[in-house]
Chains A and B, each alone.
Chain A
Amino acid sequence: MKISVNFDSCQSNALCMAAAPDIFEVRDDGYLYILVEEPDESRRAAVMEAARLCPTQAITVS
């Protein structure tokens, strides 16, 4: 599983961080950081929830 984020669309709503805080982090600078680009398969449900909840559909999982 590989995560990519369209940073042009991302508006740092941080729903991804709420769903999978070990993988996504919005820092105090207001930007999103991907902590793990290729997470373990056991995290798939949380990553898919993060992608689904993103208000700008900026997260792609392949």
Chain B
Amino acid sequence: MTPQHVLIVGASLAGVRTAEALRAKGFAGELTIVGAENVVPYDRPPLSKGYLEGKRTAEQLALRPTDPLLQSLNVRMVLGTAASGLDLDNRQVSLSTGDSVSFDALVIASGTSPRVLPGTADLPGVHTIRNLGDADALRPKLVSDAKVVIIGAGFIGAEVASTAKSAGADVTVLEAVPIPLSRQLGDEMGTAVAAFHQRNGVTLRVACSVSHLTATHVHLADGEALPFDACVVGVGVQPNTGWLDQSRMDTSDGVLCDSSLRVIVDGSPDPRIVAIGDIARWVNPRYEYEGPVRVEHWTNAVESAEHAATLLATSSSAEPFAPVPYFWSDQYGNKIQFLGRAHGFDEVAVVSGSTDGKFVVLYRRGDRLVAALGVSSVKTVMGYRRRLLDGCSWSEALAAVDATRNN
């Protein structure tokens, strides 16, 4: 039997897409979305790119531009209100306003927040990027000759570096590990992608240990002090699970789910509670050897929302959630696209172009194709999505490359 009232905690991409998908699948019950930010739900990727550059407006970021309050979906929107606790026995979520909301089914989509460095919360020149206000605060500081120091050479850091550089700023990126993005891309490709910084006039300093920040300087462990007009901290995120602390779920890193995204409560999956988007930690059967992971990509929010809606709105048995993860990053005029998971890969092979420009690289693990990376090679790399979905062998993948070359 389908639930009477679905409560979605989180009014960003994953939460809104779940509401849309539930209605599209014929769910006619009550729907409530609770969101901590007091704004119409919006899309976050442009916050470090087009919106930060000033090329796109806040209105253009709305997730449902023609329907700001989701009226056509008949959804009750409770915005500017955070969830503060979960009472599993009574099936109620308490809210920051002091009210509480009952549910038959709960969708946990409360997302993540940027990690901050200790002692920096009140420093006006130190920024993180997660919401519209963050981007609004940073944008006026990205001007010609401004000194911008970015801590963390991940994708957010790299995109902000690219945006700041295009505004004419003097940009330095500091990275703690010797090779940026090595966890996501491996050492060789991490090095290749990080090379875009230097090639575009941005200073990248790796294996660089930050001691502390003041209002005007980043102090390094070796005693050097780097002055800044703006410092942007992009050192990862932490899941927004504070409201679930007393809930008998495993919230050690996000919310632990079974392979269908049903949340594990007291050791077994609860069929009426799902977690989606970047807060959900689950074993993707396609990459089972990796163990439970959280995936912080835009596409994961969309695909997990669709999956959750199927789970809740239909009486079909719980299928595993087994996507081929995808992310993209726009930096220095390059489009970086990645399909699959590089975890534990054995080999990479360049199948198109060369790694100092446009290229496509495939990743092998055992006898399987597990991932594909493309830089400004949209058509070629996206051609591998179907092969990755089909579970293509390494030899088949290489044979297909040869066939294309011989055409």
Contact = CB atoms under 8 A, between A and B. Distances in A.
B45 A17 contact: no
With most chain B CB atoms within 10 A of its CB, the pick from A14, A17, A27 is A14
B13 to A, nearest CB: 10
Contacts of B45: 55
B306 A14 contact: no
B298 interface: yes
Interface residues of B, number: 20
B378 interface: yes
B379 A53 contact: no
Contact of B379 (A15, A26, A57): A26
A21 B45 CA distance: 25
Given A13-B337, A15-B326, A18-B385, A52 B302 contact: yes
Contacts of B337: 13-14
A27 to B, nearest CB: 7
Interface string B327-344: 010100001010000000
Interface in B128-167: none
A19 B306 CA distance: 15
A18 B382 contact: yes
B299 interface: yes
A15 B298 contact: no
Given A52-B306, A55-B328, A17 B299 contact: no
Interface of B: 17, 43, 45, 63, 298-299, 302-303, 306, 326, 328, 330, 335, 337, 378-379, 382-383, 385-386
Q: Which 4 A-B pairs have the closest CB atoms?
A: A18-B385, A14-B382, A18-B382, A14-B378
